[in-house]
Amino acid sequence: MACICEGPLEGRTLKGGIGWMTRSTQKQKESEVLRQLLSATGIQPECEPDVIGDKPDVMMQMFGRTVGIEVVMYQSNKRVAGGERRAVEAEWERLEGYSKAIRKEHAVFEHMYVLFRFRNIVPPRNQYEEFCQEILQFIRSRQDSVSAEPEVFGISDFTSPLMRKHLKAIGGLVLKRCERDEWDSNITAGFVDSYPACTISKIVSKKTELAKAYRKADELWLAIGQSGQLSETVLPINGAYDFDASPDLQDSLLSSPFSRVYVFTAMGLFQWDKREGNWQRIAGNKPS
């Protein structure tokens, strides 16, 4: 593979800037994953990575060998309340964003933390205004009693129709005083994928099939990034054990063409090396 050697990559910008794959949002995310990978592992290619061309996404030279890196974003695609996690989460984000204008207009929302516990999904978009007005009136009626200690409300406290319909009967709404106003919900808090091995196994299997058409390389790596959305966050509660304990994941890895697989998680960066056959958390340390 032809390349122009210009010394270590540290402190320099890869050619083409943020658009060196494409200018799409997805490709921007993938390019950021590569930057994070090189930074976290301390890996320094001999030349600038070749990022213009067919799959895999990146080709780089290391120790006289060509390493191809395929970059993919983690997506659980698990379904809740009749829709995919990310779609349901996005509806909450849209409602929370809509509420900001109303919250700025009314002093009652200042220094007020509001936690919603929805029965399943948020009200439909054509009911945002009505729902926000119901919350406004409810807080007005309770503002004198709200303190820094959380106060929990349920169905017996709700008199307006949308609050009764969409909020849980027990603990559907929590209010407390805080330094700034904030709206939070159980929709995002409960969406972190705490058992990601199955999803990663499917990603590896899919990429294994696609790798048959990849450009030739001496070695292939797979880097799985996360977007920052809670529904797309990898949370291996028990560390590397959560990955090692999955037979399906181990089978998909061993039958794949990837010699290394990297996964960015809420617990740090994890690496699987085919030579060793197990996972280890490497975080910001340089792998051996």
| pLDDT number for residue 28 | 75
The pLDDT of residue 146? 94
For the cut 50, the answer to whether the pLDDT of residue 285 exceeds it is no
Q: At what angle do helices 197-210 and 247-254 cross, to 10 degrees?
A: 20
pTM to 2 decimals? 0.59
Q: How many helices (H) and strands (E) does the chain have?
A: 8, 12
Residue 61 is given by DSSP the state E
The rounded distance, in Å, linking the Cα atoms of 257 and 262 is 14
Q: What is the mean pLDDT of residues 213-223?
A: 94
Residue in 134, 112, 115 with CA at minimum distance from that of residue 123: 134
pLDDT digits 0-9 by tens, 1-22: 434 333 333 333 333 333 333 4
Structure tokens at 76: 């659980």
pLDDT in tens, 13-72: 333 333 333 446 667 777 788 889 999 998 888 877 766 567 898 899 988 899 999 999
Confidence of residue 236 (pLDDT cuts 50, 70, 90): confident
Quick check: 171 and 154 in contact, CB under 8 A? yes
Beta bridge partners of 183: 114
The phi, psi pair for 113, rounded to 5°, reads -90, 130
Q: Is the torsion defined by CA of 67, 71, 74, 75 positive or negative?
A: negative
Give the pLDDT score at 288.
38
pLDDT at residue 226, rounded to an integer: 83
Distance CA 53, CA 55 (A): 7
Q: How confident is the model at residue 85 (pLDDT cuts 50, 70, 90)?
A: low
What average pLDDT is seen over the chain? 82
Between 31 and 159, the more confident residue is 159
As a whole number of angstroms, the distance between CA 94 and CA 83 comes to 16
3-state helix, strand, coil in the chain (%, to 5): 35, 25, 40
Q: Give the model confidence (pLDDT) of 118-158 as tens digits.
A: 987 899 999 999 999 999 999 999 999 999 998 999 999 99
Show the tokens assigned to 187. 């929709």
Rounded mean pLDDT of 99-107? 94
Domains and CATH numbers, the chain: 17-77+193-281 (3.40.1540), 81-189 (no CATH)
Least confident among 132-136, 148-152, 210-214, 229-233? 229-233
> In which residue are the tokens 């490709």 written?
27
In degrees and rounded to multiples of 5, residue 97 shows phi and psi of: -65, -40
